[in-house]
A = this chain, B = another copy of it.
Amino acid sequence: MKKIKVGIIGTGRIGKLHAENIAYNIPQAEIKAVADIYADSAREWAHSLGIENVYTDYHDILNDPEIEAVLICSSTNTHAQITVEAANAGKHIFCEKPIDLNIEKIKAAINAVEKAGVKLQVGFNRRFDHNFKKVRDLVLEGKIGEPHIIKITSRDPAPPPAEYVKVSGGIFMDMTIHDFDMARYQSGSEVEEVYVQAAVLVDPAIGEAGDVDTAIITLKFANGALGVIDNSRKAAYGYDQRVEVFGSKGSAAASNDTPTNTVLSTVDGVMSDKPLYFFLERYKQSFVDEMKDFFSAIANNTETPVTAIDGLKPVLIGLAAIKSWKEGRPVKLSEVE
């Protein structure tokens, strides 16, 4: 089997995670090079994984004709630009979410990808989560009939620092964007309208940074279904990630994963484990599976499971959500497109 040669651009937390997942779990791919503006700090780690080339300039990856695919794991504001360049260089692209916060830039990136005829997969890893995928499978098998209500609970274990909030694009672009993708994935339909009720209840500093930390987002889908997402930046008991799809024949619901399923019964009550606290643990297997599917799409020349349009739509919904929040009214997606 010929291995697909890969270059990884950006070796922060998520870049390293993908590199390790490829090294240990994806026999059909091989990381030939990584690039990071702080290349020195990545060198030892890279060599421990058997990665030979560590560049400061990602163009060294794009210029390597042997490299067929790149993973774009750099900071968000560089995603769109690098996507365009990588597409022009004829590389297949795995791009972390979001492609950009600006619709024009996303569209430009998508255009470049389409013109080049390369594959693009966007890093909405939660679609690959075993629980959420099972819910989707049950829906697709018709077990719950026509979907009527999609419910998503998505609460972080701890709020980010206010400094981060300022550059994050806000809760809807930074956190809820995953839920917008999940809503599209589970409903199998497009969001047409968004309404947001939001508040600062967790940390006043978030409010001072111009953002909110608690929100309920109502969605209206093209197929007639309704949706609701509830977000909080802080669930004291850990990372709360649940999905329910309710339809004409029933309901499919996924609850949280826990470290163990042990139950302790004492005079004080019956105690079980809290949800897995951190997204890297909670979604561990999903990060591996999105890579498997990416390289499989390249090897078999099939469509990637999270396409360019899947990268664009959640940003549009996010823009509508921000508008709804600011204007205190339901906003149609057509208003922001």
Is A202 on the interface with B (CB-CB < 8 A)?
A: yes
Write the A253-290 contact mask toward B (1 if CB under 8 angstroms, else 0).
11111011111111101111110000000000000000
Of the candidates B199, B220, B249, B274, the one whose C-beta lies within 8 Å of that of A226 is: B199
- Say which residue of B151, B195, B240, B266 sits within 8 Å of A197 (CB atoms): B195
A276–B261 Cα distance when bound, in Å, is 13
- Interchain CB contact under 8 A, A232 and B148: yes
The answer, among B24, B138, B149, B227, for a CB contact under 8 Å with A264, is B138
Q: Which residues of A contact B (CB under 8 A)?
A: 24-25, 27, 48, 130-131, 134-135, 138, 143-146, 148-149, 151, 155, 193, 195, 197-199, 201-202, 214-216, 218-220, 224-228, 230, 232, 234-237, 240, 246, 248-257, 259-267, 269-274, 328-330
Q: What separation, in Å, do the CA atoms of A149 and B259 have in the docked complex?
A: 25
If A199-B224, A265-B274, A271-B272 are given as contacts, then 13 extra A-B residue pairs at C-beta distance below 8 Å, sorted by A number, are A130-B259, A148-B232, A149-B214, A149-B230, A199-B226, A202-B248, A215-B226, A232-B246, A237-B265, A237-B267, A253-B263, A254-B263, A329-B329
Pair A216/B228 contact, Cβ less than 8 Å:
yes
Q: Is the CB of B262 within 8 A of A135?
A: yes
CB distance from A41 to the nearest CB of B (A): 19
A228: B residues at CB distance < 8 A: 216, 218, 228, 230
CB proximity of A118 to chain B, nearest CB, Å: 29
A256 CB contacts on chain B under 8 angstroms: 261
Q: Which of B24, B198, B261, B274 makes the CB contact (< 8 A) with A269? A: B274
Task: State the CA gap A307–B222 with chains docked (Å).
Answer: 43
CA A155 to CA B134, docked complex, whole Å: 23
Nearest-neighbor residue (CB-CB) of A221 within chain B = B199
Q: Separation in Å of the A239 CB from the closest CB of chain B?
A: 12
A236 surroundings in chain B (CB, below 8 A): 145, 248-250, 265-267
Task: Give the chain B neighbours of A255 by CB distance below 8 A.
Answer: 261, 263
A144 cross-chain contacts in B, Cβ below 8 A: 264, 266
Pull 26 A–B residue pairs with CB atoms less than 8 Å apart, ordered by A. A24-B24, A143-B266, A146-B201, A148-B202, A149-B214, A195-B218, A197-B219, A197-B220, A199-B225, A201-B224, A202-B248, A216-B227, A228-B230, A235-B246, A237-B250, A237-B265, A249-B267, A251-B265, A253-B263, A254-B260, A254-B261, A256-B261, A269-B274, A270-B274, A271-B271, A329-B330
Nearest-CB residue, chain B, relative to A257: B261
Q: Identify the closest chain B residue to A130 (Cβ).
A: B260
- Cα-based distance from A256 to B262 in the complex (angstroms): 9
Residues A330 and B195 in contact, CB atoms below 8 Å apart: yes
Shortest CB–CB separation between residue A240 and chain B, in angstroms? 8
Contact B248 A266 (CB under 8 A): no
The docked-state distance in angstroms from the alpha carbon of A199 to that of B227 is 11
